[in-house]
Structure 1
Amino acid sequence: MAAPAPHVLALPFPAQGHVIPLMELSHSLVEHGIKVTFVNTQHNHHLILASLHVSKPDSQDGITSLGGVDMVCIPDGLADGEDRKDLARLAKSFSEVMPGELEKLIARLSESAGACNCKLTWIIADASMAWVFPVAKRLGLRVAAFNPLSVAMFATRIRIPELIRDGVVDEKGLPKQRGTFRLAPGMPPMDTTELSWNRAGGPEGQPFILDFILRNNAATRLAEAVVTNSVQELEPGAMALFPDVLTVGPLLSDKPVASFWAEDATCAAWLDAQPAGSVVYVAFGSFAIFDRAQLVELAEALALTSRPFLWAVRPDSASEEWVEDLRRRAGPRGRVVGWCPQQLVLAHASTACFLSHCGWNSTLEGLVNGLPFLCWPYFTDQFLDRGYICDVWRTGLQVAAGETTGTLVGREAIRGKVEELLGDAEIKARALALRDVARGAVADGGSSSRRNLARVVDLVRGSTS
């Protein structure tokens, strides 16, 4: 009988920006002959099936295949209708409920291993779900941590004890001094008021978020490898602090990436009808929420540019009445949709720049297409990503000083920044140079990310004999 095929369980943090890159890594592993079972929460699993217009699983055991990756789900402990954008509440719930549910799932998969001649030997879990690692060790499975954020963000969280020791923050993670600092040369400057654990929701949840990060840091030491969706040449300062991190990015895939919302299929045809290098693409990811007044200012600003624009206004971020008002204000040059096939949009010849929240996935996707950024971060790691774009790589501009304080950013300020960005030839040249670096990392010929992905594959394969 042939040796069992390698089988990996992949488990992301239950947010869109974490699910997508781990799914992209899963597709890469499948292409190398590794079986992958992808574990979403029930809530997110149902969102993904609905976006794909799938009403029921492919098989009786609840498994749905997505481009060759098997998808299953377990509960997160929250009831239908509870606020899953409250990160402290979500993390507290899944930390209590999911370990037991994961053990049950592993037992079921182990019972069926003979039927598929595949032995479950590895779990690759999000570094923010490091409660998985002691469960895996107890069950005799090997574990790798997946960091879907920058190496700089990984470094910042790991170095929290040093920040406390050096008086940057107090023991509660709150700023003890005002201003910016860098963990290492070449890393982005960080404002002490914009550290990720203090920008993850309301102040009442901040103590839990900090403790959650510290517990994840401790459990991550059980992982045999840390795999990151980044490019080592783009983050030399952070890589100097953590040289053993395996950068395998930018992770991009032409297969389904488990979107929580249905993508508007008309975007491609609309882009085809626009002049090359003319479209302002606007998208703020899966969490950002603006009030109506700010949405109006942005809509009027985009109209004032006299440029075509494509704006993704997430279905859960604005009422239909608000969206219709934005469409009216957009006029004939603007197109407002619910959710975009973003990788297609950013790669399109008509796209000129990206007005973005600066999530790490969006940052890499824009970077690999050589696009200048207009940065409008919302929470957690997005402020650090803006630091890379504006201060280190210098491939973009910040929208306005008021955006991090809740101050309304006016239409003229936004319009002026769009025009400034698109009129800056040096920013565009630097963006194109970084595009070549990012693409080179995954190209043939022994590039950094391809070598590291091969190391991950070899690591997983080495445990099946």
Structure 2
Amino acid sequence: MEEKKIHRAHVLIVPYPSQGHINPTFQFAKRLASKGLKITLAITNFIYKTKKPSQPSDSVQIDTISDGYDDGGFSEAESIDAYLQNMEVAGSKTLAELITKYKSSSNPIDCVVYDAFLYWALDVAKGFGLFAAAFFTQTCAVNFIYYLVHHGLLKLPVSTTPVSIPGMPLLELQDMPSFIGVQGQYPAYFEMVLNQFSNADRADLVLVNTYYKLESQVADSMSKFCPMVTIGPTLPSFYLDNRILNDNDYDLNLFTLDKSITMNWLNTKPEGSVVYVSFGSMACLANEQVEELAWGLKKSSFYFLWVIRDTEETNKLPKGFVDGIGDKGLIVNWSPQLEVLSNKALGCFFSHAGWNSTIEALSLAVPMVVMPQWTDQPTDAKFVEDVWKVGVRVRVDEDGIVRRDEIERCIKEVMEGQSGREMRMNAKKWRDLAIEAVSEGGTSDKNIDEFISKFTN
């Protein structure tokens, strides 16, 4: 009975099982827990067994569901399509079992927040009569484009450009999500992002990991079509409002981190002198692109910290490159990105424009060079350069490669001169607005309180 008095309600949060989706949902979980709710984060059996996460606190606990591949996770599936299909079957069954388990406890589930990629979780939640909210990890702009395509309001293939969408700048084909810009690319993933809206009209609320002033016009346009609110940015509180005690990391990392090498090197460099290069957890650059990037970084003459994920990527580096850079550059397999982005030595983030990386940079006032690869990244890059004006987008040649001279040019534009100063000023403005959004009484904070009131009153 005492537990019931402590917690206002019990929320079950179900992320898609990849790092870029676990991070924002986990941070949202901690934000809810700070407001007196009991939170259960349901990760897959495979992630739980391999990463053995500790329970973060009494108010955020870890539980599991199955994706159908308990021994090997995604790598065990024969195809993307097979993984998504099996996860729907196994996930629906085990999610229902999890809700049933808590039904007879002192804290039954009151609300399910599900990653919109797992659209089937809504049907499970509604089968138990629960309040259910879809959590979208990408920008309002990208989500709105997918919404319009799903409902036939934006016809494919796009036959004429530029494309005019309410609340957005005019978009060329290269500014659209890659599934639209390149017809037939990764059809299983394209179906998944469109399926986010297959039943979203039945969700009680749509939560988006952005903040209102960052995308106010798009948010206003999208909210006319669905009950949507902004609740971001979902960074650890230490980097924003610092209202949540000991919240200085994402807590559940799927990659092994050794941050001492990175931070020790970074701490020896002058303020604003380092270019940080990272393309996230999924991008895989072609051999030729890795070589051009390597020589472009060296030609720029700035210090650089380059994250290259694994041995396969490392083997793409030009022969003798690592030995020849000396202390001018550091190449690592992974890095503590938030600590890097907030370090005084950092001057620029050379990024793939994935949304988590982009919103981290915006929230930490770091200007960018963006080299989008796929999915939402081309649209994010468009906003970085032309709407938020905090960076520059590289230009590809006729072979689809960004050459070393272009890489050097873009880095120097951000790191030096008047345009670089303007980008840094704009970045500081967006950081201030990010902090304002999550601080007490800010737009995102009010939206979270309103969301909670819908199933606690």
> Which category describes the TM-score, using the shorter chain as reference length?
0.7 to 0.9
User: How far is 1:176 from its partner?
Assistant: 3.7
User: How far is 1:102 from its partner?
Assistant: 1.4
User: How far is 1:87 from its partner?
Assistant: 4.4
In the other structure, the counterpart of 1:256 is 250
d(CA) in 1 for partners of 2:76, 2:371: 24
Query: Residue 432 of structure 1: which of 428, 431, 456 is its match?
Result: 428
CA contact (8 A) 2:174 2:378 kept: no
User: How far is 1:433 from its partner?
Assistant: 2.0
Give the secondary structure class of the aligned counterpart of 2:322: helix
Corresponding letter in the other structure for 2:146: R
Corresponding letter in the other structure for 2:435: R
CA contact (8 A) 1:87 1:201 kept: no
Gaps of 5+ in 2: 237-247
> More displaced, 323-332 or 144-153?
323-332
d(CA) in 2 for partners of 1:37, 1:443: 24
Answering whether residue 59 of structure 2 is matched by residue 65 of structure 1, we say no
CA contact (8 A) 2:291 2:316 kept: no
Output aligned runs, 1:40-59, within 5 Å.
Answer: 40-47=43-50, 49=51, 54=52
CA contact (8 A) 1:13 1:129 kept: yes
Output aligned runs, 1:162-177, within 5 Å.
Answer: 164-165=152-153, 168-170=154-156, 175-177=157-159
CA contact (8 A) 1:280 1:309 kept: yes
Query: Residue 129 of structure 1: which of 113, 118, 137 is its match?
Result: 118
User: How far is 1:199 from its partner?
Assistant: 6.3
In the other structure, the counterpart of 2:244 is none
CA contact (8 A) 1:188 1:384 kept: no
d(CA) in 1 for partners of 2:403, 2:172: 24
Corresponding letter in the other structure for 2:64: C
Q: C-alpha offsets along residues 333-381 of structure 1, whole Å, 9 cap, x if unaligned?
A: 1111111111111111111111011111111110112111101111111
Query: Residue 162 of structure 2: which of 163, 166, 180 is its match?
Result: 180
CA contact (8 A) 1:29 1:36 kept: yes
Gaps of 5+ in 1: 58-63
In the other structure, the counterpart of 1:31 is 34
In the other structure, the counterpart of 1:247 is 230
In the other structure, the counterpart of 1:346 is 341
Output aligned runs, 1:5-404, within 5 Å.
Answer: 5=7, 6-47=9-50, 49=51, 54=52, 64-68=54-58, 69-78=60-69, 80=72, 82=75, 87-111=80-104, 113=105, 117-161=106-150, 164-165=152-153, 168-170=154-156, 175-185=157-167, 187-192=168-173, 195-196=176-177, 198=179, 203=184, 205-206=186-187, 208-243=188-223, 244-253=227-236, 254-266=248-260, 267-315=262-310, 318=313, 327-402=322-397
Corresponding letter in the other structure for 1:249: G
Q: C-alpha offsets along residues 396-439 of structure 1, whole Å, 9 cap, x if unaligned?
A: 1112234xx76232222211210122222222222222222222
Cα separation, partners in 2 of 1:293 and 1:146, compared to 1, 3 Å = same
CA contact (8 A) 2:150 2:194 kept: no
Corresponding letter in the other structure for 2:149: I
d(CA) in 1 for partners of 2:180, 2:111: 33
d(CA) in 2 for partners of 1:430, 1:30: 32
d(CA) in 2 for partners of 1:160, 1:321: 37
d(CA) in 2 for partners of 1:84, 1:458: 40
CA contact (8 A) 2:207 2:231 kept: yes
Cα separation, partners in 2 of 1:226 and 1:92, compared to 1, 3 Å = same
Corresponding letter in the other structure for 1:65: Q
Corresponding letter in the other structure for 1:177: S
User: How far is 1:91 from its partner?
Assistant: 2.2
d(CA) in 1 for partners of 2:250, 2:386: 33
CA contact (8 A) 2:349 2:366 kept: yes
Higher relative contact order (CA 8 A, sep 6+): 1
